[in-house]
Amino acid sequence: MTHANSEQREETMSQTTCCACAPAPSEEELGARLDEVLAEYRGKPGALIPVLQIAQGLYGYLPETALRRVAAGLGQSYAQVAGVVTFYSYFSTVPRGKHLVRVCLGTACYVRGGKAVLDAFKQRLGIDVGGTTPDRRFSLEVARCFGACGLAPAIMIDDTVHHRVKPAAIGRILARYADTTAPKEETTCDSPTPQL
Ligand code: FES
């Protein structure tokens, strides 16, 4: 391979491997990907919740078209699928912001100031629970427990748990999410799996 060809190939690879530059998949492509997932899970017991989790990962939320596709694909009624989505706060039927802020209101966090932390987020972001900022950067939700009760009050932003959060620190925490990259230096929970 000539030097020129090598350079051209590297340039082509850099263009095709940059995920951030990839165009958003079309509705049709998303549907095709979801169909692949449904084919994999069809007939398996307990398939609904993992399929919904994957679908939410694909779409960013769960639009009605996706729920109807899941219902048809798993042989369940739309009402059954919609009922599960409504029951678990983890699922969202409206588009979420780029970063999901979840404030724990479990017992340990609540008694150690979780409500004040939530109020501070509401004021700072200018949205209520379940809302998304106009620039689609942040969505705000509440949660029951992250398994970090000893370090309450806790919040989770995307996959990162922030411990012993004080209302006065909220501006500093949010500033770390001002760009497209989530921070890594904050303390994290050993088992940050959010409870459904
Ligand atoms: S109650 Fe908030 S982390 Fe457990």
Q: Tell me the average pLDDT across 9-31.
A: 59
pTM to 2 decimal places: 0.61
Q: What CA–CA distance (Å, rounded) separates 43 from 26?
A: 28
Domain enclosing residue 120, as ranges: 99-181
- Can you tell me whether residue 190 is helix, strand or coil? coil
Higher pLDDT, 6 or 154: 154
- Looking up residue 127, the CATH number of its domain turns out to be 3.40.30.10
How much distance in Å is there from the Cα of 56 to the middle of ligand 1? 25
- On whether residue 43 sits in a domain, the answer given is yes
Q: What is the DSSP string of 19-79?
A: GGGSPPPPHHHHHHHHHHHHHHHTT-TT-HHHHHHHHHHHHSS--HHHHHHHHHHHT--HH
Same domain, 90 and 103: no
Same domain, 56 and 69: yes
Of 61, 95, 129, the residue that ends a domain is: 95
The residue whose two tokens read 């949010």 is: 174
How much distance in Å is there from the Cα of 145 to the middle of ligand 1? 4
- Can you tell me whether residue 114 is helix, strand or coil? helix
- Structure tokens that stand for 150 in this block: 């000893």
Q: What CA–CA distance (Å, rounded) separates 13 from 83?
A: 44
Other CB atoms within a 10 A radius of the CB of residue 106 amount to 20
Total domains in the chain come to 2
- On whether residue 12 sits in a domain, the answer given is no
Of 95, 116, 131, the residue that ends a domain is: 95
State pLDDT tens for residues 74-111. 999 999 999 999 999 788 898 888 899 999 999 999 99
How much distance in Å is there from the Cα of 85 to the middle of ligand 1? 23
Name the residue of 146, 162, 164, 189 whose CB sits within 8 Å of the most ligand 1 atoms, as the mutation to test its pocket.
Answer: 146
